Structure 1
Amino acid sequence: MNKKIVVTAAILGMVAVITGAFGAHALKELVTPKYLQTWGTAVQYHFYHVFALLFLAVLNRSSSKLINTSYWLFTLGILLFSGSLYALTLLSIHPSGVMSILGPITPLGGVLFIVGWFTLALAAWKEK
């Protein structure tokens, strides 16, 4: 088990629960249904990739470079994909010019997720 990955997953998992609860209880009255759905998508992908991190922690036997790369790709993907969706939703309460900057960040986070899964597949393929 890789302690660094488990600690990261635990912290990001805790944040996913907090953001999920915040969206379910506090945001209902503040944002449109569209942005509430955006928040829900952020939480959903956030959790998916926390579980992926936990899987990496168990899979990681010898600090494989590919597993470590997947770890960073998933972690940064959560921050960029979910983080940008959280920010877009919160900024919709009081829109500003920053929203146009955040839009392109979301797909970048999605690409990191995709590359992370591909890297995980490569790590599994190379496993003896």
Structure 2
Amino acid sequence: MMPFSAILVVIVLLVIVLLHLLWAAGSHWPAVDEKTLAKTVVGSAGIQKMPSRLASLIVAVVLAGAAHVVLAYAGLMPGFMLFRMYRILLVAMILVFSFRGLAAYIPQWRAMTPEQPFARLDQTRYGPLCIVIAALLLDVALT
């Protein structure tokens, strides 16, 4: 049976995939316009527009791949025979989400991403969410 942490992290990752697919399709949701969305989800200094639609699509594909790794590691997707490779990918994902989560509190990252409301959301939502994802992935790895 698949651990609850695996189910939860796959759902979270797929919701984030859906958001990036919406942005890749040109949507500005949940913001009212592109500039507001860019200042909300990217936050780099002086940002006026979202990164390219291709960039959003690439992020969506990478995160969908991460969800696949979790499902495969839990034995629910083809490729279970590649267990060692999935374990390595899972550890890499834990490190990436941990570092991204902690970055929200590093002054150098704050200097690179000062725009509001991103800076506030990064410390109250995005960073903590990344740390939670890393913890869920760690639970998957240890289960």
Fold match (TM-score > 0.5):
no
Q: Give the TM-score range, shorter chain.
A: 0.3 to 0.5
Q: TM-score, normalised by structure 1?
A: 0.43
Q: TM-score, normalised by structure 2?
A: 0.40
